[in-house]
Amino acid sequence: MLAAKQCFRLNSMRCLSTSAMRQSKLISSSLSVDDRTGIATLELNRPPVNSLNQPLLQEISTVLTDLGKNKSKGLILTSSSPSVFSAGLDILEMYKPDPEKAKLFWTTLQEVWLKLYGSSFPTAAAISGHAPAGGCLLALCCEYRVMCPKLTIGLNETRLGIVAPVWFQSSMRNVISVRDTEKALTLGTMFSTDEALKIGLIDEVAADKQDAIKRCEEFLLQFSKVSFDARAITKKNLRGKDLAELENNREGDLQTFLFFLNQPKVQKGLELYLQSLKTKKSS
């Protein structure tokens, strides 16, 4: 059973304790289900910045499998941090990588993307903190995004001297125009909440996290009037081409990632970026 501290409880909410959850305890996230609505909330909880390392990605992947099997009423993805939704991929997983660990890390990320972007159940992100790079990717995979004021969101990979894979790109292109996607990705733009709303990268601005969760719930509850299967197939048809592109080329995508990762220039870029984060902190 999940330990009490691993479980995010609100009024009328209960921990989900299905078989998969029992088998793999959640350490860096917590899952709850609203008894009234059946909507699940997955809260990322890996201080300080919810960076996505392999174990956290594995937890997300397990939860997504479980919700899919249970024909969930919907998922809200959020964060326990007051300031960060997710800082994206854990740079330490990519800096001076161990080859086997890097392989597992990337294949787990692929799985998360395939399951979240292609989920049969509806999804929404309550973005209550900054969402750079992989954090933005998680939000983009969802069908609806509600963000709190004065935050930033974007796929900033080019600013780190790295290239966002094609499936990162298609996740953004599925949400905003091709023109805006090209500009955002080539510049590595981090959008403010207001800018993100203006280009449609997010759907609504909420006053605070609670309000963001409420608005996500309202979005998801609309599907109670719609056939689960009809909805799921429609979504799959719309996203199927993007999903197939990765599904049919997982090994090639992995090799591309490993090739890039082993470039001295990429490693230098990651080192400098890590240093800049530390310098920012000390100044």
Options 34, 66, 90, 242; binder of ligand CO8; rule CB under 6 A? 90
With contacts defined by CB under 6 A, name the span among 83-91, 115-123, 193-201, 220-228 that binds ligand CO8.
83-91
Q: N- to C-terminal Cα distance for the chain?
A: 44
For residues 187 and 155, the answer to whether their CB atoms sit within 8 Å is no
- φ, ψ (nearest 5 deg) of residue 82: -75, -15
Options 29, 156, 181, 189; binder of ligand CO8; rule CB under 6 A? 156
Site string for ligand CO8, 259-278 (x = CB under 6 A): -xx------------x--xx
Quote the least distance from Cβ 48 to ligand CO8, whole Å: 4
For residues 261 and 97, the answer to whether their CB atoms sit within 8 Å is yes
For residues 170 and 242, the answer to whether their CB atoms sit within 8 Å is yes
For residues 27 and 79, the answer to whether their CB atoms sit within 8 Å is no
Q: 100: part of which helix (H) or strand (E)?
A: helix 99-117
Distance CA(178)–CA(200), nearest Å, equals 12
Total number of residues binding ligand CO8 (CB under 6 A)? 27
Give the Cβ contact number of residue 92 at 10 Å: 12
Of 153 and 206, nearer to ligand CO8 (C-beta) is 153
Assess whether 157 carries a catalytic annotation.
yes
Site string for ligand CO8, 50-79 (x = CB under 6 A): -x----------------------------
Of 40 and 87, nearer to ligand CO8 (C-beta) is 87
Which of 45, 50, 53, 156 is the catalytic position? 156
Kindly state whether residue 133 participates in binding ligand CO8, applying the rule CB under 6 A.
Answer: yes
Of 179 and 278, nearer to ligand CO8 (C-beta) is 278
Distance CA(64)–CA(108), nearest Å, equals 12
Which of 89, 138, 140, 185 is the catalytic position? 89
Distance CA(46)–CA(101), nearest Å, equals 19
Assess whether 68 carries a catalytic annotation.
no
With contacts defined by CB under 6 A, name the span among 127-135, 173-181, 198-206, 226-234 that binds ligand CO8.
127-135
Of 47 and 240, nearer to ligand CO8 (C-beta) is 47
Kindly state whether residue 5 participates in binding ligand CO8, applying the rule CB under 6 A.
Answer: no
| CA nearest to 155, candidates 115, 124, 196 | 196
Distance CA(234)–CA(223), nearest Å, equals 13
Kindly state whether residue 257 participates in binding ligand CO8, applying the rule CB under 6 A.
Answer: yes
Catalytic residues: 89, 134, 156-157
